[in-house]
Chain A
């Protein structure tokens, strides 16, 4: 893209944002309450939130880099950067966030048929269907390929039975993408299929799990003789592990930047701390400086790998590095926030809001989507070539 066309794009976008982004949506949207997740049962928190989603969806700006025919705006990586810069410049909220955008979308774009893309992607882009992820099971955590939820071949459908766990927001999702064992005799990585399932149907039940943070973002999901039509498979039968792994690299990149304000625009930790403590003691200040240095460098690394992705080089195995470094940093950041808050931070809904809940929530960062230990093993085997 030439400098001219980039400047032109920026000018157009700026004018569009100025005209279309409601004032209420220009607060950065950093709190959990401000996120728009979409879905059939979504209740907009304000008229502005609804309007903002609709306007963005009409332009393809909820998924700016997806092709136009699937609900995106077809932006290049460079245009996408400009898009985020301009959004940040007016402190605009993200119009829509969802697992459909972060996880299923990229997998469908890569593995789905044209018909599947046309069917599933636009409702994700418009925030009409909310998806959740059915990966982990009680016996398949770090050893994810050990999934036991089984799908029996019944001709035009699979009959699915089993239990999923840590299905984030399953109680609010409309559809689930799930790993199901469709060949119990094959080696464990070769008998899994990646299936899409409507959660409104009979035989799918979900139950929230209360977490240490006091909230219940995770659920258990039970399949009891649930019927999944054959056309709802992504990729090839029994080769779902390929889809699962591809999706995981996207999930890991997403988690790595989550919450820590790593992709630019985030306020410095020290500046945030300075809001609550009058004088930072030397140890806290030193820790905050180190955390800030690491946050900036990890943020640059995320950008570097995104730049490479467009050049067709993809983060691939390096997504394990991004996930590991990003989540460990986020945990550290919240430890410092707690330390800065002192006893004020120890109350639920106390003077510092949900700081303790946020701190506790971050402890899952280095577990979900693959533990830090699994990430290090991936780097050690696949990047460094150390023997298993």
Chain B
């Protein structure tokens, strides 16, 4: 990492340790809250909500590598925010559209005044190309009918990016979440975050609601997905580091048979192996951020590599985290379980290991 990046990470860590430690997440979980608007406003004031928004639209325009650094720090303390959905995914999509409406939306995202959720999934696995939900032409506009699930930040978002099938392809719609015919049901998620199942019953959409071109959703959606996948990978790498840090501390403190359990070679080698995996995954994530900043057209391989590695490493980190903590790791009063649940949700969101492994294989010629 460059000096600037290290400074950003230090600053982010300082803020999150104070304003959004794991105990804050626990409070929210216990209170059944999935969004803290005041906290998001504070993040916006620091330029995080506008991390990808151009400066002339009020953003800090720090780029993808910087977004990954922020996401990684958020992962360490399980900070709850619409950062990925709004500041990364929606902002990237909107940036690929050059009209005043998109520009206004970007400004509102950067200010922390408007949040977005991406509604793509219809089945249990991420498969944007397989989208079945219909947007039938109707007069000058469209009528949306169908169901979406696993819409992250979807129950509380102000607006929705909805992927639907039009006559000759897929189209991305940008509509307010309270439009007539939209019914949102919050899912009771294992990680206690905002996720919704959404029904669209003859929802009206105009040509102006289309983001990008009709039948060409991927021009806008693909870069947005890649940005989201990379940032999610970064968040998961932070999550791995958070869980790992707790585990190593525990190995140094916990005594059994009269000595610290960290003296047992069986545990030492497993902890060392996990550290190696975390280091290797960190390289893939750094690479994805740089590639998105420098050569976004060809970032697909780097992004899928990062998401696949991050998924795998986070899984190992939380499994080892619970196992090495023993019984205490299984209790709700202890934080490790939070990391395990978030890792499982992150594993599925925006494409699981198999999905991204296939992308890597395709890019590598087999």
Instruction: Identify the A interface with B (CB < 8 A).
Output: 268, 270-271, 273-274, 280, 285-286, 288-290, 292-294, 296-298, 300-301, 303-304, 318, 321, 324-325, 373, 375-377, 379-381, 383-388
Contacts and interface: CB of A to CB of B under 8 A. Distances in A.
Contacts of B358: 289
Contacts of B284: 296-297, 300
Interface residues of B, number: 33
A376 B280 contact: no
Interface string B211-253: 0000000000000000000000000000000000000100110
Given A318-B279, A380-B271, A386-B268, A290 B357 contact: yes
A386 B364 contact: no
A270 B366 contact: yes
B361 interface: yes
Contacts of A268: 361, 364-366
A379 B262 CA distance: 13
Contacts of B248: 384-386
Contacts of B357: 286, 289-290, 293
A357 B184 CA distance: 61
A380 to B, nearest CB: 4
B322 to A, nearest CB: 19
Nearest to A289: B357
Contacts of B360: 289, 292-293, 296
Contacts, number: 106
B269 A384 contact: no
Interface of A is mostly: helix
B276 interface: yes
Interface centre among A298, A301, A303 (most CB of B within 10 A): A301
A379 B272 contact: yes
B125 interface: no
B281 interface: yes
A321 B276 contact: yes
Interface of B: 248, 251-252, 260, 262-263, 265, 268-269, 271-273, 275-276, 279-284, 286-287, 301, 305, 308-309, 357-358, 360-361, 364-366
Given A268-B366, A280-B366, A386-B263, A380 B361 contact: no
Contact of B262 (A288, A373, A386): A386
Contacts of B279: 301, 318, 321
Given A297-B305, A376-B272, A379-B272, A289 B361 contact: yes
A388 B263 contact: yes
A376 B273 contact: yes
B247 to A, nearest CB: 10
Given A271-B364, A289-B361, A388-B263, 6 more contacts: A379-B275, A380-B271, A380-B272, A381-B268, A383-B275, A386-B271
A324 B206 CA distance: 57
A292 B363 CA distance: 11
Contacts of A288: 361, 366
Contacts of B272: 375-377, 379-380, 383-384
Contacts of A383: 272, 275
25 contacts: A268-B364, A270-B366, A274-B365, A280-B366, A285-B366, A289-B357, A289-B361, A292-B361, A293-B308, A296-B284, A297-B281, A297-B283, A297-B284, A300-B280, A300-B286, A303-B283, A321-B275, A376-B273, A379-B275, A379-B276, A383-B272, A386-B248, A386-B251, A386-B252, A386-B262
Nearest to B244: A384
Nearest to A273: B366
A387 B286 contact: no
Nearest to A272: B366
A297 B263 contact: no
A274 to B, nearest CB: 5
B214 to A, nearest CB: 35
Contacts of A318: 279
B365 to A, nearest CB: 4
A387 B252 contact: yes
A270 B365 CA distance: 7
